[in-house]
Copies of this chain bind each other. A is one copy, B any other.
Amino acid sequence: MTVQINKPYVIGLDLGGTNSVFGIVDARGEIKATTAIKTQGFDNAKDYVDAAVSALQPIIEQVGGIETIKAMGIGAPNANYYNGTIETAPNIAWAHDIVVPLAQMFSDALGIPVAITNDANAAAVGEMTYGVARGMKNFIVITLGTGVGSGIVVNGQIVYGCDGFAGELGHVTMVRGEEGRLCGCGRTGCLETYCSATGVARTARELLAKTNQPSLLRDLNPDDITSLDVSIAAGKGDELAKNIYEFTGKMLGEACADFATFCSPEAFVFFGGMVKAGDLIMNPIKEAYDRHVMPVFRGKAQFLISSLDGASAAVLGASALGWEI
């Protein structure tokens, strides 16, 4: 990472299915200015980029003009780092069934270099630049949200693989054969089907149906239960809710033990809404990891929670990509 003193800022764009949030960030990860637009409601990518640049102009002026900006980083679904594109993103109308060269479009409009990657890789770059993974060369960020994502850093570089899509650890197979849960990717038994927020809700429904264990969760309509409900119940000492975290953490810990055989990371960094459960989820992860990891790796990896602030974490992650260009 080379920070040019005369260009002290980068722009980060967290491009979500609903909102697009922009931040201008300095080398220490301080957000100097922000703005946002809706992601949807545009007929095509050009209209989206035009609206984005219009929203950006005032905050760029605020920090001293485009001359002070080194580059821009974008975190977006279905992003291909190598090509600078969003490729057939199912949840974005203007990128639904086409390949959008979004990095080039922003670069042309702003006159600065632009890079793009998915949100989990952006989170990994963010942790390496501003967060708990500063100075680390080998670590894995695992994002626990609606899905399970991952950003893998080996020898100080994000692992993009031959096609730009590497780092999909949410889709390693944890339960083989018939009994594996059906995944959104079309396969069964993926880690994501158990350990995402939706996976946790699914586990809650299964445990409520399978057992007679009393639980605060029984007061809710099973179909409406969310991971937040499970978290709240567990916080109140609800045993069944705590069992759900045990189950979820155990599977994550076993998965991390497999990941260690790959790249022997110095840390696993957990990121996303579910991490708010703290020890409830982290303790079972660590216990299962210690029980399942190969002896040669035991005790070597730290288990950390992202230090980037929740609301701005995605923007910070995206912005960090700007320093790498």
| Contacts from A to B (Cβ < 8 Å) | 137-138, 152, 154-155, 157, 159-176, 185-187, 254, 257-259, 261-266, 292, 294-297, 300-301
Contact = CB atoms under 8 A, between A and B. Distances in A.
Contacts of A300: 162-163
Contact of A263 (B166, B174, B185, B296): B166
A261 B151 CA distance: 11
Contacts of A176: 174-175, 254
30 contacts: A152-B262, A154-B154, A154-B159, A155-B159, A155-B160, A159-B262, A162-B264, A162-B266, A163-B296, A163-B300, A165-B296, A166-B261, A166-B262, A167-B261, A167-B262, A168-B261, A168-B294, A168-B296, A169-B261, A169-B262, A170-B261, A171-B261, A172-B262, A176-B254, A185-B294, A186-B295, A187-B292, A258-B258, A259-B262, A262-B262
Given A162-B137, A187-B292, A294-B185, A172 B261 contact: yes
A295 B261 contact: no
A161 B254 contact: no
Contacts of A155: 154-155, 157, 159-160
A173 B170 CA distance: 16
A265 B173 contact: no
B295 A166 contact: no
Question: Interface residues of A: mostly helix, strand, loop or mixed?
Answer: loop
B159 A263 contact: yes
B254 A173 contact: yes
Given A137-B162, A159-B263, A171-B294, 12 more contacts: A162-B266, A163-B264, A164-B264, A166-B262, A166-B264, A168-B294, A172-B258, A172-B262, A173-B257, A176-B254, A185-B294, A259-B262
